[in-house]
Chain A
Amino acid sequence: MSTDTDTFRTDQNLEPERYEQEDEQYEQEEQGGQEEPGDETPAADSVPYLAESADPAEPEEPVEPMAPEGAAKPEDVGGRHVGADGGPLVAAEAQEEFLSRWSRIQVSFVEDPATAVESADVLVQEIGAAMLASFEDRSGEFAAAGRAASDTEQRRLALRRYHAFIGVLLPE
């Protein structure tokens, strides 16, 4: 079971991070190419896609497949939560809580199959509700950002956020 979950997590995280990184590069360009102290690719400012093209063996991989925790946190750039767009619908602590509840249900089956089935239904409903709430929060935010966009570049960035979110909803 744990292997499946791990694969699922990886799938979810890889794709959004790529968007996130590109976003950061664009943000840097917008702000006059200010370089973050920890940036590993100094040339990225002048040649945004250098990092990707420098690694022809894995063109689809992000530059840092195992990005540090900080990179996954929502970053408040220009009043927008850029990093959150690609994050999972269910927050890490909530996911852990759901999964540990599932483990208990799985073990309890032998002692009480009927209750186990009922508990599993409750759990799935709760996971669904959590995902729906998170979905509505985030898509509402995108819609507001889209309405506020007044030029092509802002609309392009708004559309990129939708794209990142689709990557979360439909992980490869």
Chain B
Amino acid sequence: MAILITFIVVAVLLVAAAVGWANYSKHRLRASFGPEVETVERDHESPREVDRELRRRKKQHDALPLHAISSQDQENYAAAWERAQGEFLNDPSLALIHAEQLVATVLEARGYPGGEPDEQLALLSVEYADSLAGYRSAQQVSRRALEEPTNIPTEELRQAMLSYLTLFDELLTDSGATTTEAADSTVDSTVMQGSANGLEANR
């Protein structure tokens, strides 16, 4: 009898621990995506699908051959950014378009695939969830700047410029090695190829 009770207690404890661990890692995964979880929730009905999408993004992201920007390139990109930012005084819309192009260039230089914008945003949400809402709305302002450059308030253009700057700075100075744990062991080697020489802050 005592053995049976012990067995049941142990089994209950094990199940509770497993459920607790599953909830904990789910919670951790969601926490790592920060404000992006809400964006994913808008496109997916059940919480399970949301979790599945977050896991998919993380797996795809961890498989990317991400790498740091060399310090020489960091300088060049930073100089190009200063030119774009200085342009704002005489032509805000044009400066914004140049800023967007520059961010796209740095994204590709880091190893993020170009092509599908939505998938790129999904992959970016793994590491840059906090800056992504700003990036997304800046891109909308950029699109409007292309279509109707004279109808956008200067302050809105400036805010978009700052959103690009936030992501630009992060992309430029991050080491490139993935900061999320539990990367699939099969992709570890490619992910870890990124050198760690991009850590110096440039602003």
What residues make up the interface of A, taking CB atoms closer than 8 Å to B?
103, 106-107, 109-111, 113
In the complex the two chains form, is A113's CB within 8 Å of B86's CB?
no
Instruction: Decide: A113 and B158 in contact? CB cutoff 8 A.
Output: yes
Task: Tell me the bound Cα distance from A110 to B82 in angstroms.
Answer: 10
Identify which of B86, B161, B162, B165 contacts A106 (C-beta below 8 A).
B86
B162:A109 contact, CB within 8 angstroms: no
Give A106 to B162 CA distance when docked, in angstroms. 15
CB <8 Å contact, B161 and A107: no
- Whether the pair B88, A111 counts as a contact (CB closer than 8 A) is no
Q: Any chain A CB within 8 A of the CB of B89?
A: yes
Residues of chain B contacted by A111 (CB below 8 angstroms): 85, 162, 165
Taken together as a complex, chains A and B put the C-alpha atoms of A110 and B81 apart, in Å, by 12
A43 to chain B, nearest CB (A): 50
With A103-B86, A110-B158 already in contact, 9 other A-B pairs whose C-beta atoms are closer than 8 Å: A106-B89, A107-B82, A109-B85, A109-B89, A110-B85, A110-B95, A110-B161, A111-B85, A111-B165
Query: Which parts of B75-94 form the interface with A (CB within 8 Å)?
Result: 82, 85-86, 88-89
Residues of B within 8 A of A (CB): 82, 85-86, 88-89, 95, 158, 161-162, 165
Q: Which residues of A contact B161 (CB under 8 A)?
A: 110
A109: which B residues are within 8 A, CB to CB? 85, 88-89
B158 touches A107 (CB 8 A): no
Bound together, the chains give a CA A109 to CA B86 distance in angstroms of 8
Shortest distance in angstroms between A119's beta carbon and chain B's nearest beta carbon? 13
Q: Which residues of A contact B89 (CB under 8 A)?
A: 106, 109
Name 20 interchain pairs, CB-CB below 8 A, sorted by A: A103-B86, A106-B86, A106-B89, A107-B82, A107-B85, A107-B86, A109-B85, A109-B88, A109-B89, A110-B85, A110-B88, A110-B95, A110-B158, A110-B161, A110-B162, A110-B165, A111-B85, A111-B162, A111-B165, A113-B158
Residues of A within 8 A of B86 (CB): 103, 106-107
| Residue of B85, B86, B88 with most chain A CB atoms under a 10 A cut-off | B86
For the residues of A in contact with B, the DSSP-based class is helix
The A-B contact count (CB < 8 A) is: 20
Chain B interface main SS type: helix
Residues of A with C-beta under 8 A to B165: 110-111
The answer for the CA separation of A161 and B158 in the assembled complex, in Å, is 50
Nearest CB in chain A to that of B96: its residue: A110
Closest chain-A Cβ to B166's Cβ sits at a distance in Å of: 11
Please indicate the chain B residues that have their CB under 8 angstroms from the CB of A103 in the complex.
86
Report B97 CB to chain A, min CB distance, Å.
14
Smallest CB–CB gap between A114 and chain B, Å? Answer: 12
B119, chain A: closest CB distance, angstroms: 30
* CB-based nearest B residue for A111: B162
Residues on A with C-beta less than 8 A from B158 are 110, 113
Closest CB of chain A to B138's CB: distance in Å? 12
A103 to B88, CA, bound (A): 12
- For the complex, give the distance between the alpha carbons of A106 and B82 in Å: 10
Q: A45 to B29, alpha carbons, bound, how many Å?
A: 90
Complex CA gap A107/B84 in Å reads 9
Smallest CB separation, B172 vs chain A (Å): 16
Q: Which residues of B contact A106 (CB under 8 A)?
A: 86, 89
Q: B162: which A residues are within 8 A, CB to CB?
A: 110-111
A29 CA / B24 CA spacing, docked (Å): 97
In the complex, chain A residues whose CB is within 8 Å of the CB of B82: 107
In the bound assembly, the distance between CA atoms of A24 and B142 in angstroms comes to: 60
How close is B89's CB to chain A, nearest CB, in angstroms?
5
